[in-house]
Structure 1
Amino acid sequence: MDFIVYIILLIIGGCFGGGMAGLLGVGGGLIFTPIQYYLLLASGVEQSIALPMAFATSLAVIFVTMIRGSYEHWHNGFVVMDYLPLLMILGFIGAITGAFISTHIDVGFLQFLFGLMCIVVVINMILIKYPDNDDNISKSRIKHALLGLVAGLLCGLLGVGGGIIMIPVLTILLKYPTHKAIGTSSASIIATSLGGLIAYIIIGWNVVGLPEFSLGYVNMVQFIVLTLISTIVVGYAAKLSKNVNDSILKVFHILVVLYIGLKMLGVL
């Protein structure tokens, strides 16, 4: 593949991923991962290496991107701090665990289950009214801990930040208003992505056949380009989300989750 085309496609991916991260509080891995995966395959990297490398590099980009996005959401007052440490600690542990499990399980099966879960989430998002204030936010530490752990496991297993499941759960089950679910998800993803990233670097450290400029399973060329672009875009997108109506964000989020679910199930 021509190097210029390679970089252009990375830039486009960085714009889409950063936009999703800022507007919806998801890490953008579901954009970053497939783009990197197919670019690596087109560059001659073996499939067995390309997939975990796409996962790992996505998490590296997500980690940096969500620091910027979370700051904007915190500045806007949309990060609920009460249970954030619990979400982050359990998310970090779950992500490390998920990354190591991913080397011993069929990722295709996991993607299928993830797709089904996305469809169930979409149905609930359509049928259930989102809360519009803080009055009923769940005070259950167990529910927050379980959410952090599950989101972290998904992060490590599939190279996503975890927000794609965290936001619906925060809104539907834990009664977070949409904007605060997005902001809190963004902050917790910093921990889940870091945990998965560390694990993938360790797992890939002595793997034979990695392309040049690799740190474990992290491809530094893709990391630098995607990080530069997505970090710029995520800040603007997070600022924009402050002025977007909750209903519009909900519809947009439903469409994104539905597309991801159908893609994971092989329908699209």
Structure 2
Amino acid sequence: MTGEWALFLLAGLMLATGLAGGIIAGMLGVGGGIVIVPVLDFALGFVGVDADIRMQVAVATSLATIIPTALSSARAHQSRGAVDMALIRHWAVAMFCGALIGTVIASEVQGSVLSAVFAAVCLLVVAKMLLPLDHRRIAPGLPPGPLMQGVPLAIGGVSSMMGIGGGTVGVPILTLFGYSIHRAVGTASLFGLLIAVPGTLGFIVTGWGDPRLPMGSLGFVNLIGLALIAPTTYLTAPLGARIAHGLSKRQLGIAFGLFLLLVACRMIYRVYQG
């Protein structure tokens, strides 16, 4: 396959990824990264990017695309009154700091480590969403106190390591503390912005000047992928939000769990591939 055809195929794959990522972002409150990361990892391997940095490039580029997606998705959910702005203000600083810490860790470890953590987090979330635990709650609401700042810190750290919005981790946590699935999804859509901005900046700094980076990269962020994926996810996220509000609580929970189960299986396969 010639270089031109390889580039054409890669561009088409990125556009399709953006389409799926945007719909899932709006529907499930995630930043689309849970789709974008594994697909970009495959696509970058196809064009010969060094395996040692491929996952970092996929994660960093995914985080960059989450910024406009999170804005679009959060606006759609806010218009329906589904975003808890008081919680966002209370958790913002800790989540921002967690994202920076996760970025530094992700820049130093091997790609297989990131894949293993990705799979483990997905399986934990799947257990919460698919098992008949709808009425299980840790507490009827989020308790006050400084110890609870560890929750947004962890959400930010894990999410930035995976290149995902805060919905994958944040939605099940919020539902455990009494949030309805629709309000949890709506609030988590804004977590993506608090994670993606510091995460993207961190990956630009930590990857700066690496000679193994593919063409068109700013640090670990690939600008070609960003240019193709970000507009598509931005435009399709509101469609996902409309789909979410047309489903029942149980239907949305099952859809969320089944989707993450597929992603976990894909990441486990990657770990065993090495």
If the length of structure 1 is used for normalisation, what is the TM-score? 0.90
* 1:64 partner amino acid: P
User: Secondary structure of the equivalent of 2:269?
Assistant: coil
Indicate the residue corresponding to 2:218 in structure 1.
215
1:261 aligns with 2:261: no
Aligned to 1:224: 227
* Pairing partner for 1:128 from 122, 125, 133: 133
1:249 is paired with a residue of what secondary structure? Answer: helix
1:193-240 deviation per Cα after TM superposition (whole angstroms, max 9, x unaligned): 111111000111121132222211111111011011111110221133
Q: Give the distance between the partners of 2:114 and 2:30, measured in 1 at CA.
A: 19
- The count of aligned residue pairs is 265
CA offsets per residue over residues 118-171 of structure 1, 9 Å max, x none? 32332233131158xxx9332435465222111111122221223211111110
Tell me the equivalent position of 2:103: 99
Which aligned pairs between 1:113-124 and structure 2 lie closer than 5 A?
113-124=117-128
Q: CA RMSD in A?
A: 2.3
Q: Does 1:147 align with 2:182?
A: no
Rounded to whole Å, the distance in 1 between the matches of 2:116 and 2:56 is 17
Q: 1:236 aligns with which of 239, 248, 263?
A: 239
More displaced, 236-245 or 258-267?
A: 258-267
Q: In the superposition, relative to structure 1, how do residues 81 and 121 fare at CA in structure 2: closer, same or farther (>3 Å)?
A: same
Closer, same or farther in 2 for the Cα pair 1:124/1:235, shift >3 Å? closer
Distance 1:63 1:139, change over 3 A: same
Unaligned runs of 5+ in 1: none
The letter for the 2-side match of 1:88 is A
Match of 2:189 in 1: 186
Residues 61-85 of structure 1 show CA distances to partners (whole Å, capped at 9, x for unaligned) of 0111111100111111000122112
Equivalent of 2:251, from 213, 235, 248? 248
- In percent, how many aligned pairs have the same letter? 27
Determine the structure 2 residue equivalent to 1:82: 86
Name the SS of the counterpart of 1:208 in structure 2.
coil
Q: 1:118 to 1:211 in 2, by over 3 A?
A: closer
TM-score by length of 2: 0.89
